[in-house]
Amino acid sequence: MIKKTEVKELANVENQYCVSLFIPTHRGGQETLDGEDSINLKTQLKEVKSKLEERGMREDKIEDFVKPIKNLVDDSDFWRNQSDGLAIFLTKDIFEKYTVPVHFEAFNYVSHEFYLKPLMPLFNGNGMFYILALKNDKVAFYEATRHSIVELEMPDEAPGQLEDRVGYDHEQNSLKDRSDKHGGQTKSAFHGYGEESTEEQNELKRYFKAINDGLMTMLHGDQNPPLILCCQDFQYALYKEVNTYKSLYEEHISGNSSDKDDALLHEEAWNLVEPYFNQKRKEKMEDFKELHGSGKATSDPEKIMKSAVQGKVDSLFIENGEDIYGNYDSSKMKIEIKEERNPSNISLMNLVAMKVFKLGGDVYLTEKEDIPDGSSKMNAVLRF
């Protein structure tokens, strides 16, 4: 997974030849067996080589330059460990590849800067989240988006089951319902933190703390997506006491996760977290509609460009799958828009997106029908 700091570092790179390449990938299945993803990369690489030649790179230099990408095409181990999308960045001294839970349209870009706006959904609530399922016999950890779920390997520091932490066979009844010795009716022995369950509570908290500490060895990036627990209600209350991950979701999937397959787990988790992802975007869209025409929101590309450079863009909506090409004179803060892409111009939408991103604004890739002012490919709410 790429971190925000890494994107900012890539955004600062300038070189005569910078290659950005994106393809959709598969987590498994027949597409992987048939080599669909590697074929897709090979097709994009062919286009990249043509663009490098068009930009003046000698043919005998091109093969050496793209060799790191070419080596991936036939790397079967590499293709067996993919997510939803692959992003590759190559220049003279840099070769970075990122497997990410974002579905990309196949695309390549060759310029003197990297093309990074397709990565923006990773940082503005597009739907990446984690699921921690506390099952009776194991702990399962997942990375998920709106459309995908994949189980990740737990770090070695995290116990795989309760016995790994407490050192003896802890009966499943300690994790499930017990008979109420007073009335004969079934209820959770932990519910309400009765005195009779203090020892078992402490065992579970030690167990959960070990899980938390193990997860924190891998959840140390700067994205902090929500973490949803699937467990019984009393377990969630205990886990919260030892949790140190700042984005533990306030709601959880209630019940025994051993009774849920991955598809059901994913569906229930998304139903919980969807409002979280939609809320901020909706608020920013409403801000634009309310402020448009007041000077505090605009859909004028040149004004957006100038405001972005000055750090005055709070939130930016850019039409997904579209672009505006042209040139930007930083000394005069003036843009020149061209109708088509050619070797002498750049993606102005990518440039604006990176300016806003680096200076702490929100960047939303938005479908045409959802962009607040559909007459422009860029909308922005400004800071004052």
pLDDT 10s digits, 141-164: 998 887 778 888 888 878 766 555
157 with 254: CB under 8 angstroms? no
Q: Give me the pLDDT at residue 168, please.
A: 38
Q: Give me the pLDDT at residue 242, please.
A: 96
Dist CA 335 CA 356 (whole Å): 16
- Classify residue 31 as exposed, middle or buried by CB count within 10 Å of its CB (0-12, 13-18, 19+): middle
pTM of the predicted model over 0.85: no
- Classify residue 76 as exposed, middle or buried by CB count within 10 Å of its CB (0-12, 13-18, 19+): exposed
User: What's CA 62's distance to the chain center, in Å?
Assistant: 32
Predicted confidence (pLDDT) per residue in 152-205, tens digit = 888 887 876 655 555 434 444 444 444 444 444 444 444 444 444 788 888 889
Beta strand 177-179 pairing with 186-188: antiparallel
User: Can you list the residues of the chain whose pLDDT is less than 50?
Assistant: 167-196
Predicted confidence (pLDDT) per residue in 317-335, tens digit = 999 989 999 998 888 778 8
Dist CA 93 CA 108 (whole Å): 19
Contacting residues for 328 by C-beta, under 8 A, at least 6 apart? 305, 334, 335, 336, 346, 348, 351
Q: Give me the pLDDT at residue 150, please.
A: 83
User: What's CA 360's distance to the chain center, in Å?
Assistant: 17
- Show the domains of the chain with their CATH numbers: 1-115 (3.30.960), 129-279 (3.30.420), 292-384 (3.30.1330.30)
